[in-house]
Amino acid sequence: MTAAAGALLIKQMVIAAFGGMGAATVCHPLDVIRVQMQTEGNTYSSALDAAKGIYEKNGIKDGLYAGVSAAYLRQWLYGSCRIGIYAYLLENAQNANVQAGLDKNAISLPSKMLMGLTSGGIGSFVGTPSELALVRMSNDKKLPVEQRRNYKGVGNCISRIAKEEGFPALFTGAPATVLRACLLSACAMGITSEIKMRLSGSGLFGDDGKLWGGVPLLFVATLVSSFAANTVANPFDVVKSRMQSSSKDGSAQYSSMLDCFLQTIENDGVLKLWSGFFPAFLKLAPYTVISLTLVDKLTKVVTGKEAL
């Protein structure tokens, strides 16, 4: 990788992190609701019931925004890679097409999904400790008082896990986390780019999709991709949340990702794998819309080019 290419990659990753932080600020309560609905001991009948219960029990700061510091760290580790690396790979492919005398957008959907899978896999592995902290901190207030860990922040959470449970514990649930992220990113990034390209020339969203700054086009593209991504990734999300919410001395122990899958189906039924689908989709859709729109616009300001 040349120095110029490296600088471009870092620039796109930083832009992606800031875009992700903006989206996380708005959407974090939905993440808390999702985690608490997916983990052991869930008694909520719906996402609305969960939101009401969490707010009444712990308020906004310690309830609906519990673990937001971990969500911000996650954007710098996972979000920056997922969106930044994807934008970098997509731009390289477009430049290669231009140099070969082809239409720069002559990139197949499978190729785009492979780029999304790659960027999501790298980002999710790097970001697993922050994902673990997010789940632990979001779920802590739901536990009985004597079982609560009472983390003081994301740094305290990560350091305590490493000290009390061992450094490898920071990567608890990593296989499920990486698989989920690969599937989610392949759909979210690849399908968004594909739909955006196809609809931009349809005339439905103005000249070259620029109606209202391109926001309506991005909204439709990300809404469709978010639904597809959430449908495919939700079972891995449930397994990830269950594995990461427990510790070595907890009551819910799984020997592997497969064991967690089997226990969940045996104890709660196969539909439990799509538990929290609604809040997860409600979070993923606006999160994807906000983050990708911010990244697209920030990239346009900084580099003069679109990110997607």
Tokens 């990830």 — which residue?
Answer: 240
The string of DSSP letters for 33-54 reads HHHHHHSTT---SSHHHHHHHH
What's the pLDDT at 41? 67
Question: Per-residue pLDDT averaged across 134-149, rounded?
Answer: 86
What's the pLDDT at 31? 85
What's the pLDDT at 76? 94
For the whole prediction, is pTM greater than 0.85?
Answer: no
Give the span between the Cα atoms of 59 and 147, in whole angstroms.
20
What's the pLDDT at 290? 86
The string of DSSP letters for 64-82 reads ITTTHHHHHHHIIIIIHHH
Asked if the model's pLDDT at residue 243 lies above 60, the reply is yes
Asked if the model's pLDDT at residue 247 lies above 70, the reply is no
For the ranges 68-77, 155-164, 173-182, the lowest mean pLDDT is seen at 173-182
Asked if the model's pLDDT at residue 248 lies above 60, the reply is no
What's the pLDDT at 108? 95
Give the span between the Cα atoms of 240 and 195, in whole angstroms.
29
Give the span between the Cα atoms of 137 and 63, in whole angstroms.
10
Confidence of residue 298 (pLDDT cuts 50, 70, 90): confident
Asked if the model's pLDDT at residue 249 lies above 60, the reply is no
For the chain, the average pLDDT equals 87
What angle is formed at CA 37 by the lines to CA 32 and CA 38, rounded to 5 degrees?
A: 100
The neighbour count for residue 84, using CB atoms within 10 Å, is: 27
The neighbour count for residue 258, using CB atoms within 10 Å, is: 12
Asked if the model's pLDDT at residue 215 lies above 60, the reply is yes
The tens digit of pLDDT for each residue in 12-58 reads 899 999 999 999 999 899 888 888 887 766 678 888 898 999 999 88
For the chain, percent of residues with pLDDT exceeding 70? 95
What are the start-end ranges of the H helices in 153-251? 154-165, 174-200, 215-245
The answer to whether 90 and 104 have CB atoms below 8 angstroms apart is no
Tokens 């993923």 — which residue?
Answer: 284
Give the span between the Cα atoms of 213 and 219, in whole angstroms.
11
Pick from 67, 74, 71, 69: nearest CA to 138: 67
State the sign of the Cα–Cα–Cα–Cα dihedral 104, 307, 289, 137: positive
Distances (CA, A) of 108 to 103, 126, 195, 248, 305: 12, 28, 12, 45, 20
Pick from 277, 246, 272, 257: nearest CA to 178: 257
